[in-house]
Amino acid sequence: MIRDDDVPAWWQRLGLPGLIDIHTHFMPARVMVAVWRYFDAAEKHYGVAWPVHYRGSDAERVATLRALGVRRFTALVYPHKPGMAESLNAWARDFAAVTPDCVPSGKFFPEPSALRYVREAIDAGTGVFKVHVQVGGFDPRDELLDPVWGLLAEAGVPVVVHCGSGPLPGRHTGPGPFGAVLDAHPRLTAVIAHCGAPEFAEHLALAERHPNVHLDTTMVGTDFMNRLAPVPGDVVRRLGELRDRVVLGTDFPNIPYAFAEQLAALERFGLGDNWLRAVCWQNGARLLGSP
Ligand SMILES: [Zn+2]
């Protein structure tokens, strides 16, 4: 198993200039503390311990990513009630302004102001959005979101959507509700988080049906995740066929293991070096812009 110290040699061997990680979390300190408190009680919530591996300050966590060779990353936050998203978007823009390797990251919630503040965020340079269907507790088909999906589709700005039913199912999780959004907005550049775990096959089918739908690798194939949602062999084969639409994501820093374990998991799929190059660099560069 490679360790974090080995990560630069890992991507150098592939001839890459580094890594691009589309699924990382930075957020205002008080929000991050609340998230860590939730993971500290993970046995109660998820039935499994989830000791967050990377704590410390924003500066320390950014330095960790840079030492690993992550050249571009995101600051994904997901509001769970109305009235939060707009200020989080402003926070993420300020964070990216002083952290040039971080893509300005946005979010939204079904509320009457959503279309206005998403448009403003795009105009101000926001390069990726995040939606978490279970934590948000809303239906992605909510009529207040319909024009937002349309705007994102037209702008070609990627949106990372956690719609799988893991680690916890929600009223609107699973491939059905978000699949209906894709039927209404088939050009949407969506990135389905965690490959849609645990409904891998159904979410892969969405990517197979819609040419702008991607899947992020976040936690997929790691020993930790394999105990909760193992990846079927047929899914691995289909991930190989979708090479240009699978993109590296890790959930850094809120993972219960070292970053390097994600790379080891991808290598274990046995899909070859060209697949690893596409996933760990080329596809992320296409979605987020080349560093
Ligand atoms: Zn995440």
Q: In angstroms, what is the span from residue 106 Cα to ligand 1's centroid?
A: 14
- Alpha-carbon span 43 to 46, nearest angstrom: 5
At 45 the pLDDT is 86
Q: In angstroms, what is the span from residue 23 Cα to ligand 1's centroid?
A: 6
Q: In angstroms, what is the span from residue 273 Cα to ligand 1's centroid?
A: 26
- State mean pLDDT over 232-256: 97
pLDDT tens across 5-56, in order?
999 999 999 999 999 999 999 999 999 999 999 999 999 888 899 999 999 9
**In this predicted structure, which of 28-32, 189-193, 275-279 has the lowest mean pLDDT?**
28-32
Given a cut of 90, is residue 153 above it in pLDDT? yes
Q: In angstroms, what is the span from residue 2 Cα to ligand 1's centroid?
A: 22
Q: In angstroms, what is the span from residue 194 Cα to ligand 1's centroid?
A: 8
Q: In angstroms, what is the span from residue 108 Cα to ligand 1's centroid?
A: 16
Residues with CB under 5 A from ligand 1 (ion): 251
pLDDT tens across 92-114, in order?
999 999 999 999 999 999 999 99
Q: In angstroms, what is the span from residue 129 Cα to ligand 1's centroid?
A: 12
Q: In angstroms, what is the span from residue 200 Cα to ligand 1's centroid?
A: 17
- State mean pLDDT over 230-242: 97
Whole-model pTM: value is: 0.96
Given a cut of 80, is residue 141 above it in pLDDT? yes
